[in-house]
Amino acid sequence: MSRRFGLDGRVAVVTGALGNLGPVWAEGLLEAGAVVVGLDLPSATPNAAFGQLQKTYGESKLLLIGASVTDRSALLSARERVTSEFGVPQVLVNNAGIDAPPNPSGGGYRLDEIPFDLNRRIFDVNTLGLFQVAQIFGTEMVKAGRGSVINIGSLYASVSPDPRFYDHIESDPPFLKPPAYGASKAAVVNLTKYLATAWGPYGVRVNTLSPGGVLGKQDEQFKRKFCDRVPLGRMAVYEDLVGPLQFLASDASAYVTGAELRVDGGFTAW
């Protein structure tokens, strides 16, 4: 790897480390040479991908700490452990979030039935929790005079979900992507700009990385419909996300802050 993209000797924190993309971000940072501390719910257990990374790199390079992004005291304790064992992080990946993919068993809500508490929970984690993590770890970066904060957004920060992607799924009521999801991610993009301007004078950069649709266990009809909408003609695979993350985390992006890097195959270009 080019030294320009290297993270040797740096400490990185990744929230939502046991989620779908958490191990992807962790592996990309480890591959670039960083020591990685993953944060996730205390009740969560390492999934196969994260467990394999720990087996490969060992706990001296990949540590897991239980801390919810909505629990300030747990986050403060996590920061104390990270700084005492490894030092002040130079990279923070705000990945923790709530999404709502289609449920094979159906269910869900009609637009006029969506509970207030469901919307609030999504914002509590995706936006307010992200801000709280940035407060707690980013403030230490400011004191140290360096750092890169990478907030994970979504293509739905820029466009509304297309219900036609889901209209073949048998569900009563029909599947509806929660409107708060995209709204919370749009808020993340704006919050990124806010923090970038506040912390820029102190050497801390803040950017958003917004993935498009990532290939997983989606049904074939969904994948066909989605790919027909993407200029590059396919969904993202995990490897597509690693380079952009390493770019934003490293000195290769030393003059980039307040930006949203969309990794969506051109989905939002039309």
Q: The tokens of 252 are what? A: 């290769």
In residues, how long is the chain? 270
Q: What are phi and psi of 121, to 5 degrees?
A: -60, -40
Residue 91 per-residue DSSP state: E
Rounded-to-integer distance, Cα 188 and Cα 208, Å: 8
- C-alpha torsion angle, residues 38, 42, 48, 49 (rounded to 10): -20
Rounded mean pLDDT for each run of 10 residues along the chain, 270 residues in total: 86 97 98 98 93 95 98 98 97 94 74 93 98 98 98 97 92 88 98 98 98 95 97 98 98 98 96
What is the predicted pLDDT for the residue at 2?
A: 62
pLDDT at 25 (0 to 100): 98
Reply yes or no on domain 3-97+133-161+183-218+236-262 having CATH 3.40.50.720. Answer: yes
Cα distances (angstroms) measured from residue 189 to each of 37, 60, 157, 219: 24, 33, 7, 30
Residue 150 CB neighbour total at 10 angstroms:
27
Tell me the domain boundaries of the chain.
Answer: 3-97+133-161+183-218+236-262
Res 101: pLDDT: 77
Instruction: State the pLDDT at residue 102.
Output: 77
3-state secondary structure 9-41: CCEEEEECCCCCCHHHHHHHHHHCCCEEEEEEC
Q: At what angle do helices 22-31 and 48-57 cross, to 10 degrees?
A: 20
DSSP character at residue 214: B
Query: The pTM is what?
Result: 0.96
User: What is the model's pLDDT at position 108?
Assistant: 80
Nearest C-alpha neighbor of 26 from the set 44, 11, 42: 11
DSSP string, 196-207: HHHHGGGTEEEE
Question: Quick one: how far is CA 252 from the chain centroid?
Answer: 20
With a CB cutoff of 8 Å and minimum separation 6, the contacts of 65 are 37, 38, 39, 78, 81, 82
